[in-house]
Structure 1
Amino acid sequence: MDIDSEPISSTTGMSNLDEDLMERLRSITTCNREDLIAQFRSTTNAMLTDEGCAFFLEMSNWNLNEAILAYYDAEMPTDKIPQMRFVADVTVGEGEAIPPNTRFVKTWRVENSGNEPWPSNCSLRFVNGDRLQDRDEIYVGSLAPAEQANISVDITSPAVSKIIRSQWRLFTSAGVPFGGKR
């Protein structure tokens, strides 16, 4: 489980998230509408129905790049996006073995690395991977600049021993993702 901060590249001047988005846009090669909807959702992390994704694609004549830009123009708030830095795995670390059928608490320590307080009602949401928890959303609340907080999720390991992957992401109450995936 990873929480990524978004460092700025000294060579391109873009964050890893921006570079990742540009790479995804360069690699898109389909004309299938279902594939375009899936790629739109994956690239934007949009919490939209298929019809909502199709709206932006139809508006852009099914040009994925233009649809993504239209989505961000329409959906991105004018407020600054909160900043987050992953500090530490407090409980279970990356790659640490957990016996099968074991209930445990996974805790991350994060920090508001920006200059603005986080908006109230920020939450950590399950976004991908092995679903091993009861709750898919954990409320975090507001953090002042440089303030740290522990975020915990109750998890039960699978019945059989295997490598698991579970991705989580911080969101504002308006549904804007920030801080990368962990």
Structure 2
Amino acid sequence: MDVDNGQPDGPGSGNMDIEQSLLHQFSCMGTTDKDELVQQLQKLLGSQLNYSTAAFFLDMNNWNLQAAICSYFDIESPAKLPSMALISDPKASECESIEPSVSFTKTWHVMNNGTETWPSGCFLQCAGGDSLGAIRTEFPCLKPGDYTFLSLQMTSPVQPGIYQSKWRMCTPSGSYFGDPLWAIITVVEEGTMALTQQLSHFSDLGSSPVGVVPINPFIQPRGENFQDDLCSENKNPSKC
């Protein structure tokens, strides 16, 4: 979809008004008939869209009318979308376990790798998976070549398991841009993580937990008469 420059009277404001009007009109429609969907798309976008082209956009978007309209404006619009590249996850939690209902901060280090400044009003929103309690968050404009940190406050789910959360930057009109951002966590039962950390601590020290006696597999087990057996083997009772 078109991206305006943040000025209501700018060159892109007319297209934005048209898009909002079309999306409002289609929201009142509802049908699963493909021919009817094609006709609705043609009616909304005008006579310049023939039947084959309308069917193409609908089929490309799994016959979702709203998605087809957005795709049409994304392709036909001369305006470029902003750019954003993921640099790193400085506080990645993908390799760490977390207990249920624990609050944590997820951060991504990103940059504007394009040639245009992000328009005012860009926001980060969940685009798939579990939102992990985070909400849509607006971020300041970013100039070309500049870096920033995108941070969200999240909470681990109650039930143990592996959870994935996909987030995307959006223009003020709702079009995705830039690299997808992922948060992947493993939720474990309460107390499990503390036990794992204790075992890891023992492993780091090179010692076994208290009360556990290591067994040497190369030594034959001895009975209660171990001392008598040793004297017999040495053939020297004076040392016994």
Per-residue CA deviations over 1:63-87 (Å, capped at 9, x if unaligned) read 6523359623335643211111101
| Per-residue deviation, 1:56 | 6.0
Matches within 5 A, 1:52-71: 57-58=38-39, 59=41, 64-67=55-58, 71=69
1:163 alignment partner, SS class = strand
CA RMSD of aligned residues (A): 3.1
Output the amino acid matched with 2:56: N
8 Å CA contact 2:123, 2:138 repeated in 1: yes
Larger Rg: 2
Cα pair 2:108 2:151 within 8 Å, conserved: yes
Residues 57 and 72, structure 2, Cα contact 8 Å, conserved in 1: no
TM-score normalised to the size of structure 1? 0.62
Deviation at 1:174, TM superposition (A): 1.6
1:134 Cα deviation after fit: 4.4
Determine the structure 2 residue equivalent to 1:122: 122
Which AA in structure 2 matches 1:174? S
Which residue number corresponds to residue 151 of structure 2?
A: 152
Q: Percent identity?
A: 30
The code of the aligned residue for 2:171 comes to: T
Q: Using a 3 Å threshold, how does the CA distance of structure 1 residues 103 and 64 change in structure 2: closer, same or farther?
A: farther
SS in 1 for 2:161: coil
Q: How far does the alpha carbon of each residue in 1:2-34 deviate from its partner, in whole angstroms, 9 at most, with x for none?
A: xxxxxxxxxxxxxxxxxxxxxxxxxxxxxxxxx
Distance 1:81 1:106 in 2: 25
Contact 2:124 2:170 in 1 (8 A): yes
* Structure having greater relative contact order (Cα 8 Å, sep ≥ 6): 1
Could you tell me which residue of structure 1 aligns to residue 140 of structure 2?
141
**Residue 171 of structure 1: CA displacement?**
0.4
In the TM superposition, 1:65-80 aligns within 5 A as 65-67=56-58, 71=69, 72-74=71-73, 77-80=77-80
Distance 2:124 2:162 in 1: 22
Q: Supply the distance in 1 between the matched residues of 2:99 and 2:120 (Cα, whole angstroms).
A: 37
Match of 2:92 in 1: 92
How many angstroms apart in 2 are the aligned matches of 1:53 and 1:121? 33
Hey, what's the Cα distance between the residues in 2 that align with 1:110 and 1:165? 20
Q: C-alpha displacement at 1:170, in angstroms?
A: 0.5
Pairwise CA distance, 1:141: 2.3
Distance (Å, rounded) in 1 between the aligned partners of 2:31 and 2:80: 24
Q: Distance in 1 between matches of 2:72 and 2:81?
A: 14
Count of matched residue pairs: 135
Displacement of 1:96? 2.7
> CA separation of 1:115/1:89 partners in 2, compared to 1, >3 Å: closer, same or farther?
same
Contact 1:133 1:153 in 2 (8 A): no
Residue segments in structure 2 that go unaligned for 5+ positions in a row: 1-22, 43-50, 62-67, 182-240
* Structure 2 CA distance for partners of 1:177 and 1:94, relative to 1, 3 Å: same
How far 1:51 sits from its partner (Å)?
3.5
Return the alpha-carbon distance in structure 2 between the equivalents of residues 52 and 92 of structure 1.
Answer: 42
Q: 1:92 to 1:98 in 2, by over 3 A?
A: farther
TM-score (norm 2): 0.48
CA contact under 8 A between 1:89 and 1:109: conserved in structure 2? yes
